Amino acid sequence: MRPKFEMLDNALIERILAEAFQLIKDPGVRVAPYVEDLLRGVGIPVKDGVAHIPEPLARTALQSVPREFFLYDRNGRPAVHYGGNHVHFDPGSSCLNILDPQTQQPRPAMTPDLVRLIHVAEVLPQFAAQSTAMVCNDVPPEIGDWYRLLLVLWYSEKPVVTGAFSAYSLHTLIDLLAIESGGREALRRNPRAIFDVCPSPPLNWSEFASQNLVDLARAGIPAEIVSMPLAGATAPVTLAGSVVQHAAECISGIVIHQLAQPGAPIVWGAAPAIFDMRSGKTPMGAIETAMLDVACAEVGKYLGLPTHAYMVAGDGRVIDAQVEMESGMSAVLGALAGINMISGAGMLDFLACHSIEKLVIDAEAIASAQRLLQGIEPRGASLATAMFTQTGLAGDFLKLKETRALFRQEQHFPSSVIDRGLPQMNGGGILDRANQRVEELLSAYKRRPLPPDREEEIIAFAEREGQKFGLKRVGEILSRVPDFEGAPF
Amino acid sequence: MPDDIFSLMRDSIIAGAPDTATYLARKAIAAGTAPLDAINNGYVPGMHDVGEQFARGQMFLPDMMASAEAMRAAMAVLDPELKKLGADRPTSGVVVLGTTKGDIHEIGKILVGTLLTAHGFQVHDLGADISGEKFAAKAQELSADIVGVSALLTTTMRNQKTVIEALERSGIRAQVKVMVGGAPVTRRWAEEIGADGYAKDAMSAVALARELMNQKTGPRTPEPIGSGKVV
């Protein structure tokens, strides 16, 4: 039996949905001019930039959303299964800072940092997907979004959770993905990436977000709504009230998306948080934030939709017991809730900072959560009596053939990050062990090249797009570095 | 009688009771109390107390928002009375706040404004999605001491620079200190765009605003966060 964690009963989910449908009608949802005609075309009134969406139309849109879909790896294999209770993890995304591996102090993230993180996440089996984890501060902000995707596509074969920073740049990112996939049709058929799209709480689909929803739907590339109510600040202070707002934001986004292209893949995603009334911070590691994540996903599951949440992030400013307690707890809760994609590993300081050392520690929490999901299985006709028949009361279970045959299925063996008393542990702290693990993973990483013609095309793309912002060496970086070293610019 | 009413005024701020604050302000004016006395002896000590309690973790943000609302209600009565007397409202400094063009996120900026108000600054919140020209025009109109520019997104962060450029174009850059903040903003970015200071969160924005005022007007006796002293 697979263990499961639930926050809401069906009656409460129905109440949440009833109020969410009420909200999208009145007061309605602020939408951008880009989608007003689309909405009016099916009879949704839009007045002064606010759409008043009737429940039946919203339910129709919800019906046309695919219940499941896959993201594919570079080799065309389905690697992430959105839908049902499939659970996957990816690193947190779009971080501007990194904890320096040497000093453990935060500093702006640079190209080599992102490349190192990609290498580590590529080797770790706990991460089914990569994310465009950092914004590289050594390139102009104007190219920040496609540049990080370029690095991920160059160094990774895994699917990617990404996002655009503007309505315009989305198309640059799609162009890049299409080159890597061997054309637009190949990309549509076997999407390698999913794009996060965020409404602005409360109930506002900005020009950029509205346009991204429509353009992704039409391109056939999966979208992931990341609604982020902040309970008590930009959303009702009650957890249930914030879940209602989350549902209303997701449903209204789905309406826009499905009107653009019925049947296009989209995910019911969330990055909610409580708003700490002492500090004004939004703690990602608070238990109430995890409760919101789980509850939001449950509503999506009730509607039969693929789900996402932002978890496995801690709030302390260094790697310490607090950060890892928070990250570990939410990894377990997210997994037990059956959330399809759980983003956030590696992040700390209220999502302001990434850490590759934390990423490898989080990977251990994720591995434990994945083991937990396998539950306790009866193996064989007898649970224990057959083994007792062999050993009697002597208790020599270590000698039994069943022990040897089954222990690997029963026990998860963590990496050297976790101290299990092995002689080689040397008694160092977890940060030392994490550092060592990062080095091991970096050594284990080996880049697999793309077909030569695609590599050339990607390099040409990077040169062309980089030159628009005065960068002359973007393509060169890729062509000269099977193993990236040093600062590029 | 005046001491009693000053005490009630202070309590109305701490309780976050705008109706009571308004009532007491009207009552004081009707009784011939000087508006400046009501401010300095009644309402400001209330905000002072609120700032101290918040700094000690004994008050929470919703309490402080309510206190700021009560202060605004009292000042809505007292400001016109001050003007009649040709007097100015006492202040730690005049701050123009806003979120950059293209950015609709307000909550961080609202917190900064509330905390600055609680610490004796006169805050003019322009709202969100504000162009550099609007910042400059308001700063010029009010002879602002500080312009605070917030941005939540990496894409809109760039517009913080356009605010500084607009202040330069309008010829008031030398008179105005610029502080920047927001999730993606870093000290390095603040230095790069020529801002005078960067604050990581709302509480450090108060400390920064005081430091910037010191730079403008010369050093004063340092005040602990939460003292809320009005100069």
| A17, A120: one domain | yes
- Is A108's CB within 8 Å of B104's CB? no
| A472, A398: one domain | no
Of B61, B105, B107, the CB nearest to A277: B61
Nearest-by-CA chain A residue for B55: A278
Q: What is the mean pLDDT of chain B?
A: 88
What is the spatial distance between Cα B77 and Cα B73, in angstroms, rounded to a whole number?
7
Q: Identify all chain A residues contacting B61, using CB atoms and an 8 Å cutoff.
A: 275, 277-278, 280
- Is B105's CB within 8 Å of A281's CB? no
For residue B104, give the nearest of A348, A418, A201, A355 by alpha carbon. Answer: A201
At B89 the pLDDT is 77
Q: Identify all chain B residues contacting A166, using CB atoms and an 8 Å cutoff.
A: 155
Count how many pairs of residues, chain A against chain B, have C-beta atoms within 8 Å.
45
As a whole number, mean pLDDT of residues B139-162 equals 91
- Is B202's CB within 8 Å of A280's CB? yes
Q: Identify all chain A residues contacting B153, using CB atoms and an 8 Å cutoff.
A: 165
- Is A144's CB within 8 Å of B202's CB? no
Q: Identify all chain A residues contacting B188, using CB atoms and an 8 Å cutoff.
A: 108, 137
Instruction: For residue B140, give how far its alpha carbon lies from the nearest alpha carbon of chain A (Å).
Output: 31
Its CATH architecture, for the domain B94-217, is: 3-Layer(aba) Sandwich (3.40)
Encoded tokens for B214: 């010191």
Which residue range forms the structural domain that includes residue A255? 1-376+414-489
A229 near A245, Cβ under 8 Å?
yes
Q: Does A420 touch chain B (CB under 8 A)?
A: no
At A138 the pLDDT is 87
Q: How far is CA A374 from the centre of its chain?
A: 21
Instruction: For residue A277, give how far its alpha carbon lies from the nearest alpha carbon of chain B (Å).
Output: 5
ipTM greater than cut 0.85: no
What is the spatial distance between Cα A248 and Cα B77, in angstroms, rounded to a whole number?
41
Q: Identify all chain B residues contacting A230, using CB atoms and an 8 Å cutoff.
A: 107
At B55 the pLDDT is 83
Of B60, B154, B188, the CB nearest to A277: B60
- Is B62's CB within 8 Å of A277's CB? yes
| A270, A394: one domain | no
At B230 the pLDDT is 29
Q: Identify all chain B residues contacting A281, using CB atoms and an 8 Å cutoff.
A: 201
- Is B104's CB within 8 Å of A206's CB? yes
As a whole number, mean pLDDT of residues B48-75 equals 90
Of B60, B61, B184, the CB nearest to A96: B184
| A181, A38: one domain | yes
- Is A281's CB within 8 Å of B157's CB? no
At A479 the pLDDT is 65
- Is A277's CB within 8 Å of B188's CB? no
What is the spatial distance between Cα A371 and Cα A354, in angstroms, rounded to a whole number?
25
| C-alpha distances in Å from residue B50, one per residue of A230, B31, B55, B64, B66 | 24, 27, 9, 7, 10
Chain B interface residues (partner A, CB cutoff 8 A): 57, 60-62, 104-105, 107-108, 111, 153-155, 157-158, 183-184, 186, 188, 201-203
Q: Does A33 touch chain B (CB under 8 A)?
A: no
Nearest-by-CA chain B residue for A106: B186
Q: Identify all chain A residues contacting B111, using CB atoms and an 8 Å cutoff.
A: 280
Of A137, A277, A352, the CB nearest to B183: A352
- Is A108's CB within 8 Å of B188's CB? yes
**Stronger pLDDT, A377 or B217, i.e. the higher one:** A377
- Is B157's CB within 8 Å of A141's CB? yes
Q: How many domains does chain A have?
A: 2
The pLDDT tens digits of the residues spanning B62-113 come to: 998 899 899 999 999 999 999 999 887 778 899 999 999 988 788 888 889 9
CB < 8 Å from B in window 97-116 of A: 97, 108
3-state SS string over A328-374?
A: HHHHHHHHHCCCCEEEEECEECCCCEECHHHHHHHHHHHHHHHHHHH
Q: Does A93 touch chain B (CB under 8 A)?
A: no
Tell me which fold the domain B2-84 belongs to: 1.10.1240
pLDDT above 90: residue B184: no
| Helix H or strand E encompassing A66 | none
Q: Identify all chain B residues contacting A165, using CB atoms and an 8 Å cutoff.
A: 153-155
B117 near B123, Cβ under 8 Å?
yes
B97 near B150, Cβ under 8 Å?
yes
Query: pLDDT digit of tens for each residue in chain A (489 aa)?
Result: 899 999 999 999 999 999 999 999 999 999 999 999 999 999 999 999 999 999 999 999 999 999 999 999 999 999 999 999 999 999 999 998 999 999 999 998 999 999 999 999 999 999 999 999 999 988 888 888 999 999 999 999 999 999 998 888 999 999 999 999 999 999 999 999 999 999 999 999 999 999 999 999 999 999 999 999 999 999 999 999 999 999 999 999 999 999 999 999 999 999 999 999 988 889 999 999 999 999 999 999 999 999 999 999 999 999 999 999 999 999 999 999 999 999 999 999 999 899 999 999 999 999 999 999 999 999 989 999 999 999 999 999 999 999 999 999 999 999 999 999 887 776 689 999 999 999 999 999 999 999 999 999 999 999 999 998 888 778 777 765 545 554 454
Hey, where are the domains in chain B?
2-84, 94-217
| A168, A36: one domain | yes
- Is B186's CB within 8 Å of A97's CB? yes
CB < 8 Å from B in window 206-235 of A: 206, 230, 232-234
Q: Identify all chain B residues contacting A280, using CB atoms and an 8 Å cutoff.
A: 61, 107-108, 111, 201-202
Q: Identify all chain B residues contacting A32, using CB atoms and an 8 Å cutoff.
A: none
- Is A281's CB within 8 Å of B202's CB? no
CA dihedral for A325, A326, A327, A331, sign (positive or negative): positive
Helices (H) and strands (E) in chain B, counts: 11, 5
The pLDDT tens digits of the residues spanning B159-172 come to: 999 999 999 999 99
Secondary structure class of A468 (helix, strand, coil) = coil
What is the spatial distance between Cα A6 and Cα B49, in angstroms, rounded to a whole number?
44
- Is A277's CB within 8 Å of B158's CB? no
